[in-house]
Amino acid sequence: MKRVGILTSGGDCQALNATMRGVGKGLYNELGSDVEIYGFEEGYKGLIYNEYRLLTARDFSGILTRGGTILGSSRQSFKNMRIPDENGLDKVEAMKHTYHKLRLDCLVILGGNGTQKTANLLREEGLNVVHLPKTIDNDIYGTDVTFGFQSAINIATEAIDCIHTTAASHNRIFIVEVMGHKVGWLTLASGADIILLPEIPYDIDSVLGAIEKRSKAGKGFTILAVAEGAISKEDAKLSKKEYKEKLKNYKFPSVSYELADMIEKKSGAEVRVVVPGHTQRGGSPCPYDRVLSTRIGAGAAQAIMDGEYGIMIGVVNGKIKRVPLEECAGKLKMVSPKDQLVVAAKQIGISFGD
Ligand code: F6P
Protein backbone atom coordinates (compact mmCIF):
# COMPACT_ATOMS: atom_id res chain seq x y z
CA MET A 1 0.00 0.00 0.00
CA LYS A 2 1.31 3.45 -0.99
CA ARG A 3 0.15 6.41 1.07
CA VAL A 4 0.65 9.69 -0.74
CA GLY A 5 0.05 13.28 0.42
CA ILE A 6 -0.52 16.06 -2.10
CA LEU A 7 -0.72 19.85 -1.81
CA THR A 8 -0.70 23.01 -3.93
CA SER A 9 1.14 25.99 -2.47
CA GLY A 10 1.86 29.61 -3.41
CA GLY A 11 0.20 31.61 -6.18
CA ASP A 12 -2.14 29.44 -8.23
CA CYS A 13 -2.13 28.91 -11.99
CA GLN A 14 -4.42 27.38 -14.57
CA ALA A 15 -2.89 23.89 -14.69
CA LEU A 16 -2.71 22.78 -11.03
CA ASN A 17 -5.78 20.52 -11.27
CA ALA A 18 -4.63 19.12 -14.61
CA THR A 19 -1.32 18.16 -12.98
CA MET A 20 -2.94 16.62 -9.90
CA ARG A 21 -5.18 14.67 -12.25
CA GLY A 22 -2.04 13.22 -13.89
CA VAL A 23 -0.71 12.16 -10.47
CA GLY A 24 -4.03 10.78 -9.19
CA LYS A 25 -5.03 8.92 -12.33
CA GLY A 26 -1.48 7.69 -12.83
CA LEU A 27 -1.48 6.15 -9.35
CA TYR A 28 -5.06 4.87 -9.17
CA ASN A 29 -4.91 3.32 -12.63
CA GLU A 30 -1.76 1.38 -11.76
CA LEU A 31 -2.26 0.64 -8.08
CA GLY A 32 -6.05 0.59 -7.65
CA SER A 33 -6.89 -0.09 -4.01
CA ASP A 34 -3.19 -0.30 -3.17
CA VAL A 35 -2.92 3.49 -2.96
CA GLU A 36 -4.40 6.16 -0.74
CA ILE A 37 -4.03 9.85 -1.59
CA TYR A 38 -4.49 12.55 1.04
CA GLY A 39 -5.05 16.11 -0.17
CA PHE A 40 -3.94 18.90 2.18
CA GLU A 41 -6.05 22.06 2.27
CA GLU A 42 -4.53 25.39 1.26
CA GLY A 43 -0.95 24.31 0.73
CA TYR A 44 1.48 23.85 3.61
CA LYS A 45 -1.18 25.25 5.93
CA GLY A 46 -3.09 21.94 5.71
CA LEU A 47 0.05 19.99 6.46
CA ILE A 48 0.92 22.21 9.42
CA TYR A 49 -2.57 22.33 10.91
CA ASN A 50 -3.64 18.81 10.07
CA GLU A 51 -6.35 19.74 7.56
CA TYR A 52 -6.72 17.13 4.86
CA ARG A 53 -9.15 14.83 3.10
CA LEU A 54 -8.90 11.48 1.40
CA LEU A 55 -9.03 11.89 -2.38
CA THR A 56 -10.65 9.07 -4.30
CA ALA A 57 -10.19 8.31 -8.00
CA ARG A 58 -13.38 10.29 -8.63
CA ASP A 59 -11.79 13.45 -7.25
CA PHE A 60 -9.32 13.39 -10.11
CA SER A 61 -11.99 13.05 -12.80
CA GLY A 62 -13.34 16.01 -14.77
CA ILE A 63 -10.71 18.46 -13.56
CA LEU A 64 -8.42 18.66 -16.59
CA THR A 65 -9.92 21.90 -17.81
CA ARG A 66 -10.67 23.42 -14.42
CA GLY A 67 -8.42 26.33 -13.41
CA GLY A 68 -7.46 27.12 -9.81
CA THR A 69 -6.93 24.23 -7.40
CA ILE A 70 -9.43 21.80 -5.88
CA LEU A 71 -7.26 21.83 -2.73
CA GLY A 72 -6.95 25.58 -2.32
CA SER A 73 -3.62 27.34 -1.91
CA SER A 74 -1.91 29.85 0.35
CA ARG A 75 1.42 31.57 0.57
CA GLN A 76 3.52 30.27 3.47
CA SER A 77 6.80 32.06 3.13
CA PHE A 78 9.89 29.87 3.28
CA LYS A 79 11.66 32.61 5.26
CA ASN A 80 9.16 32.20 8.11
CA MET A 81 8.99 28.42 8.13
CA ARG A 82 11.44 28.18 11.04
CA ILE A 83 9.62 30.90 12.96
CA PRO A 84 6.92 29.54 15.30
CA ASP A 85 3.34 30.65 14.59
CA GLU A 86 1.36 33.03 16.85
CA ASN A 87 0.64 30.13 19.24
CA GLY A 88 4.26 29.07 19.42
CA LEU A 89 3.78 26.08 17.09
CA ASP A 90 6.95 24.84 15.36
CA LYS A 91 5.69 24.62 11.76
CA VAL A 92 8.37 22.28 10.47
CA GLU A 93 7.85 19.85 13.36
CA ALA A 94 4.08 20.10 12.84
CA MET A 95 4.42 19.16 9.16
CA LYS A 96 6.64 16.22 10.04
CA HIS A 97 4.15 15.14 12.69
CA THR A 98 1.21 15.14 10.21
CA TYR A 99 3.29 13.23 7.66
CA HIS A 100 4.26 10.52 10.17
CA LYS A 101 0.83 10.37 11.77
CA LEU A 102 -0.69 9.56 8.36
CA ARG A 103 2.18 7.13 7.72
CA LEU A 104 2.80 8.73 4.33
CA ASP A 105 5.29 7.26 1.89
CA CYS A 106 5.73 10.63 0.23
CA LEU A 107 4.41 14.13 -0.37
CA VAL A 108 3.70 15.53 -3.84
CA ILE A 109 4.17 19.29 -3.71
CA LEU A 110 3.00 21.57 -6.51
CA GLY A 111 4.37 25.08 -6.42
CA GLY A 112 6.93 27.67 -7.44
CA ASN A 113 10.31 28.69 -6.09
CA GLY A 114 9.38 29.38 -2.47
CA THR A 115 7.32 26.20 -2.30
CA GLN A 116 10.23 24.27 -3.74
CA LYS A 117 12.60 25.63 -1.06
CA THR A 118 10.25 24.37 1.65
CA ALA A 119 9.96 21.02 -0.16
CA ASN A 120 13.74 20.80 -0.06
CA LEU A 121 13.74 21.69 3.64
CA LEU A 122 11.31 18.82 4.27
CA ARG A 123 13.61 16.54 2.27
CA GLU A 124 16.51 17.61 4.49
CA GLU A 125 14.31 16.80 7.48
CA GLY A 126 13.95 13.25 6.19
CA LEU A 127 10.59 13.33 4.39
CA ASN A 128 10.11 11.85 0.91
CA VAL A 129 9.07 14.63 -1.44
CA VAL A 130 8.35 15.04 -5.13
CA HIS A 131 8.10 18.64 -6.34
CA LEU A 132 6.13 19.61 -9.46
CA PRO A 133 7.13 22.94 -11.06
CA LYS A 134 4.18 25.31 -11.16
CA THR A 135 4.39 28.96 -12.07
CA ILE A 136 3.29 31.37 -14.73
CA ASP A 137 6.72 32.99 -14.27
CA ASN A 138 8.66 30.03 -15.75
CA ASP A 139 11.55 30.86 -13.44
CA ILE A 140 12.27 27.46 -11.91
CA TYR A 141 15.83 26.34 -12.40
CA GLY A 142 16.36 22.82 -13.75
CA THR A 143 13.30 22.62 -16.00
CA ASP A 144 12.85 24.08 -19.47
CA VAL A 145 9.28 24.97 -18.72
CA THR A 146 6.75 25.15 -15.88
CA PHE A 147 3.04 24.42 -16.11
CA GLY A 148 0.94 27.57 -16.15
CA PHE A 149 3.46 29.55 -18.18
CA GLN A 150 1.95 28.92 -21.61
CA SER A 151 -1.61 29.58 -20.41
CA ALA A 152 -0.48 32.91 -18.95
CA ILE A 153 1.35 33.81 -22.17
CA ASN A 154 -1.89 33.28 -24.07
CA ILE A 155 -3.76 35.68 -21.79
CA ALA A 156 -1.05 38.36 -21.75
CA THR A 157 -0.68 38.11 -25.52
CA GLU A 158 -4.40 38.42 -26.03
CA ALA A 159 -4.45 41.52 -23.82
CA ILE A 160 -1.67 43.06 -25.89
CA ASP A 161 -3.49 42.12 -29.13
CA CYS A 162 -6.62 43.88 -27.89
CA ILE A 163 -4.61 46.95 -26.98
CA HIS A 164 -3.04 46.93 -30.43
CA THR A 165 -6.25 47.87 -32.22
CA THR A 166 -7.27 50.64 -29.84
CA ALA A 167 -3.72 52.00 -29.65
CA ALA A 168 -3.64 52.21 -33.44
CA SER A 169 -7.02 53.99 -33.61
CA HIS A 170 -5.98 56.67 -31.14
CA ASN A 171 -2.27 56.89 -31.91
CA ARG A 172 -1.51 56.36 -28.27
CA ILE A 173 1.29 54.95 -26.21
CA PHE A 174 0.17 52.01 -24.10
CA ILE A 175 1.98 50.26 -21.29
CA VAL A 176 0.79 46.72 -20.59
CA GLU A 177 2.10 45.48 -17.24
CA VAL A 178 2.82 41.77 -17.30
CA MET A 179 3.28 39.62 -14.18
CA GLY A 180 6.80 38.80 -13.02
CA HIS A 181 8.53 40.60 -10.16
CA LYS A 182 11.92 38.98 -10.44
CA VAL A 183 12.04 37.51 -13.92
CA GLY A 184 10.72 38.55 -17.31
CA TRP A 185 10.02 35.32 -19.23
CA LEU A 186 6.30 36.02 -19.43
CA THR A 187 6.83 39.62 -20.59
CA LEU A 188 9.43 38.51 -23.11
CA ALA A 189 7.13 35.84 -24.54
CA SER A 190 4.15 38.18 -24.69
CA GLY A 191 6.05 40.66 -26.79
CA ALA A 192 5.50 44.29 -27.82
CA ASP A 193 7.36 47.15 -29.51
CA ILE A 194 9.33 47.84 -26.34
CA ILE A 195 9.94 45.16 -23.72
CA LEU A 196 11.20 46.04 -20.23
CA LEU A 197 12.39 43.21 -18.00
CA PRO A 198 13.76 43.01 -14.45
CA GLU A 199 16.93 41.41 -15.85
CA ILE A 200 17.68 44.24 -18.32
CA PRO A 201 17.50 47.62 -16.53
CA TYR A 202 16.12 50.37 -18.74
CA ASP A 203 17.20 53.89 -19.45
CA ILE A 204 14.27 56.29 -19.86
CA ASP A 205 16.03 58.17 -22.67
CA SER A 206 16.49 54.92 -24.61
CA VAL A 207 12.80 54.16 -24.13
CA LEU A 208 11.90 57.63 -25.41
CA GLY A 209 14.34 57.18 -28.28
CA ALA A 210 12.63 53.94 -29.28
CA ILE A 211 9.20 55.62 -29.23
CA GLU A 212 10.52 58.50 -31.32
CA LYS A 213 12.12 56.13 -33.80
CA ARG A 214 8.76 54.43 -34.32
CA SER A 215 7.01 57.74 -34.73
CA LYS A 216 9.57 58.91 -37.31
CA ALA A 217 8.95 55.65 -39.18
CA GLY A 218 5.27 56.63 -39.41
CA LYS A 219 4.01 54.44 -36.55
CA GLY A 220 1.62 56.55 -34.58
CA PHE A 221 1.34 54.21 -31.60
CA THR A 222 3.68 52.22 -29.40
CA ILE A 223 3.00 49.35 -27.03
CA LEU A 224 5.35 48.65 -24.16
CA ALA A 225 5.23 45.29 -22.36
CA VAL A 226 6.59 46.04 -18.91
CA ALA A 227 7.28 43.37 -16.30
CA GLU A 228 6.05 44.11 -12.76
CA GLY A 229 9.69 44.07 -11.67
CA ALA A 230 11.13 46.20 -14.49
CA ILE A 231 13.77 48.53 -13.09
CA SER A 232 15.59 51.62 -14.30
CA LYS A 233 19.37 51.71 -14.60
CA GLU A 234 19.58 54.22 -11.71
CA ASP A 235 17.44 52.07 -9.42
CA ALA A 236 19.40 48.95 -10.36
CA LYS A 237 22.50 50.67 -8.94
CA LEU A 238 20.88 51.06 -5.51
CA SER A 239 21.56 48.54 -2.78
CA LYS A 240 18.63 46.33 -1.77
CA LYS A 241 18.21 48.46 1.35
CA GLU A 242 18.26 51.76 -0.55
CA TYR A 243 15.75 50.43 -3.09
CA LYS A 244 13.41 49.26 -0.31
CA GLU A 245 13.70 52.73 1.21
CA LYS A 246 12.75 54.31 -2.12
CA LEU A 247 9.69 52.06 -2.39
CA LYS A 248 8.50 53.20 1.04
CA ASN A 249 7.79 56.67 -0.34
CA TYR A 250 6.70 55.46 -3.76
CA LYS A 251 3.69 57.42 -4.98
CA PHE A 252 2.80 55.15 -7.94
CA PRO A 253 0.72 51.95 -7.81
CA SER A 254 3.44 50.19 -9.81
CA VAL A 255 6.46 50.70 -12.04
CA SER A 256 4.25 51.08 -15.15
CA TYR A 257 2.59 54.19 -13.75
CA GLU A 258 5.94 55.72 -12.90
CA LEU A 259 7.13 55.00 -16.40
CA ALA A 260 3.95 56.47 -17.91
CA ASP A 261 4.47 59.60 -15.83
CA MET A 262 8.08 59.94 -17.00
CA ILE A 263 7.15 59.43 -20.67
CA GLU A 264 4.30 61.94 -20.46
CA LYS A 265 6.48 64.55 -18.75
CA LYS A 266 9.41 64.13 -21.08
CA SER A 267 7.55 63.73 -24.39
CA GLY A 268 4.18 65.36 -23.84
CA ALA A 269 2.53 62.27 -25.31
CA GLU A 270 -0.56 60.66 -23.87
CA VAL A 271 0.14 57.32 -22.16
CA ARG A 272 -2.34 54.70 -20.92
CA VAL A 273 -1.54 51.88 -18.53
CA VAL A 274 -3.25 48.48 -18.67
CA VAL A 275 -2.72 45.88 -15.95
CA PRO A 276 -4.14 42.42 -16.80
CA GLY A 277 -2.96 41.31 -13.33
CA HIS A 278 -4.41 38.08 -11.99
CA THR A 279 -6.37 37.37 -15.18
CA GLN A 280 -2.99 35.95 -16.23
CA ARG A 281 -3.41 33.18 -13.65
CA GLY A 282 -7.11 32.62 -14.23
CA GLY A 283 -9.34 30.45 -16.39
CA SER A 284 -8.66 27.08 -17.98
CA PRO A 285 -5.25 25.67 -18.86
CA CYS A 286 -4.42 26.01 -22.55
CA PRO A 287 -4.01 22.81 -24.62
CA TYR A 288 -0.20 22.90 -24.30
CA ASP A 289 -0.43 23.07 -20.50
CA ARG A 290 -2.98 20.24 -20.39
CA VAL A 291 -0.51 17.96 -22.12
CA LEU A 292 2.50 19.22 -20.14
CA SER A 293 0.65 18.82 -16.84
CA THR A 294 -0.48 15.33 -17.72
CA ARG A 295 3.10 14.35 -18.55
CA ILE A 296 4.50 15.89 -15.35
CA GLY A 297 1.72 14.36 -13.22
CA ALA A 298 2.18 10.93 -14.76
CA GLY A 299 5.96 11.34 -14.34
CA ALA A 300 5.42 11.96 -10.63
CA ALA A 301 3.18 8.88 -10.33
CA GLN A 302 5.88 6.78 -11.97
CA ALA A 303 8.59 8.16 -9.65
CA ILE A 304 6.41 7.32 -6.64
CA MET A 305 5.85 3.78 -7.90
CA ASP A 306 9.63 3.49 -8.40
CA GLY A 307 10.19 4.83 -4.88
CA GLU A 308 12.38 7.69 -6.11
CA TYR A 309 12.07 10.85 -4.02
CA GLY A 310 13.86 14.11 -3.25
CA ILE A 311 13.27 15.22 -6.83
CA MET A 312 11.49 17.70 -9.06
CA ILE A 313 9.75 16.31 -12.15
CA GLY A 314 11.06 18.70 -14.79
CA VAL A 315 11.30 18.84 -18.56
CA VAL A 316 14.78 18.89 -20.05
CA ASN A 317 15.22 19.01 -23.83
CA GLY A 318 11.59 18.05 -24.24
CA LYS A 319 11.85 14.94 -22.03
CA ILE A 320 10.45 14.39 -18.55
CA LYS A 321 13.37 14.32 -16.13
CA ARG A 322 13.79 13.62 -12.42
CA VAL A 323 15.93 16.50 -11.19
CA PRO A 324 17.44 16.18 -7.67
CA LEU A 325 15.99 18.94 -5.46
CA GLU A 326 19.38 19.73 -4.00
CA GLU A 327 20.51 20.76 -7.51
CA CYS A 328 17.67 23.19 -8.20
CA ALA A 329 16.14 24.44 -4.93
CA GLY A 330 16.87 28.09 -4.19
CA LYS A 331 17.99 28.93 -7.73
CA LEU A 332 16.13 31.19 -10.16
CA LYS A 333 16.07 30.73 -13.93
CA MET A 334 16.44 34.26 -15.23
CA VAL A 335 16.39 35.79 -18.71
CA SER A 336 19.92 36.34 -19.93
CA PRO A 337 20.41 39.51 -21.99
CA LYS A 338 22.13 37.11 -24.43
CA ASP A 339 19.15 34.74 -24.64
CA GLN A 340 18.28 33.82 -28.24
CA LEU A 341 14.82 35.33 -27.80
CA VAL A 342 16.27 38.67 -26.71
CA VAL A 343 18.79 38.62 -29.55
CA ALA A 344 16.13 37.79 -32.14
CA ALA A 345 13.81 40.49 -30.79
CA LYS A 346 16.57 43.10 -30.96
CA GLN A 347 17.40 41.95 -34.48
CA ILE A 348 13.89 42.83 -35.65
CA GLY A 349 13.99 46.24 -33.97
CA ILE A 350 12.31 45.58 -30.61
CA SER A 351 13.81 47.77 -27.92
CA PHE A 352 14.64 46.60 -24.39
CA GLY A 353 15.28 50.18 -23.30
CA ASP A 354 18.93 49.37 -22.50
O1 F6P B 1 4.54 33.83 -8.88
C2 F6P B 1 3.42 34.02 -9.65
C3 F6P B 1 2.91 35.42 -9.58
O4 F6P B 1 1.73 35.46 -10.32
C5 F6P B 1 3.86 36.51 -10.02
O6 F6P B 1 4.00 36.63 -11.40
C7 F6P B 1 3.25 37.72 -9.39
O8 F6P B 1 4.19 38.74 -9.24
C9 F6P B 1 2.78 37.19 -8.06
O10 F6P B 1 2.57 35.80 -8.25
C11 F6P B 1 1.52 37.81 -7.53
O12 F6P B 1 1.26 37.29 -6.29
P13 F6P B 1 -0.09 37.45 -5.47
O14 F6P B 1 -1.11 36.53 -6.09
O15 F6P B 1 0.25 37.01 -4.10
O16 F6P B 1 -0.52 38.86 -5.59
Q: What is the pLDDT of residues 137-164, one digit of tens each?
A: 999 999 999 999 999 999 999 999 999 9
pLDDT bin (cut points 50, 70, 90) of residue 181 is very high
Choose one of 16, 69, 179, 275 to mutate for the ligand 1 pocket test, by most ligand atoms within 8 angstroms of C-beta.
179
Give percent of the chain with pLDDT exceeding 70: 100
Maximum pairwise Cα distance, the chain: 70
Compute the average pLDDT of residues 34-54.
98
Q: For residue 272, is pLDDT > 90? A: yes
The CA 279 to ligand 1 mean position distance, Å, reads: 11
Residue 325 confidence (pLDDT): 98
Output the CA angle 36-101-55, nearest 5 degrees.
25
Does the C-beta of 112 come closer than 6 Å to ligand 1? yes
Query: CB-based contacts of 118: which residues, under 8 Å, 6+ apart?
Result: 9, 44, 76, 78, 81, 109
pLDDT bin (cut points 50, 70, 90) of residue 247 is confident
Q: What is the pLDDT of residues 205-243, one digit of tens each?
A: 999 999 999 999 999 999 999 999 999 999 999 998 998
Residue 326 confidence (pLDDT): 98
Q: For residue 259, is pLDDT > 90? A: yes
Output the CA angle 51-55-61, nearest 5 degrees.
135
Residue 83 confidence (pLDDT): 96
Considering the chain, what is the average pLDDT of its residues? 97
Query: Relative to the CA of 229, which ligand 1 atom is closest?
Result: 8
The CA 29 to ligand 1 mean position distance, Å, reads: 34
Output the CA angle 242-246-249, nearest 5 degrees.
145
The CA 265 to ligand 1 mean position distance, Å, reads: 30
Distance, C-alpha 319 to centroid of its chain: 21
Q: Which residue's CA is the nearest one to ligand 1's atom 15?
A: 11
CA distance 328 to 330: 6
Residue 191 confidence (pLDDT): 82
Compute the average pLDDT of residues 289-316.
98
pTM for the full predicted model: 0.96
In the annotation, is 137 catalytic?
A: yes
Residue 223 confidence (pLDDT): 98
DSSP string, 178-209: ES-SS--HHHHHH--SEEEBTTB-B-HHHHHH
Does the C-beta of 177 come closer than 6 Å to ligand 1? no
Name the catalytic one among 12, 137, 139, 289. Answer: 137
Buried b (16+ CB within 10 A) or exposed e, 290-305: bbbbbbbbbbbbbbbe
Q: What is the pLDDT of residues 188-201, one digit of tens each?
A: 999 899 999 999 99
Residue 241 confidence (pLDDT): 93
Q: Which of 59-68, 241-250, 268-277 has the lowest mean pLDDT?
A: 241-250
88, exposed or middle or buried, with CB in 10 Å at 0-12, 13-18, 19+?
A: exposed
Compute the average pLDDT of residues 23-48.
98
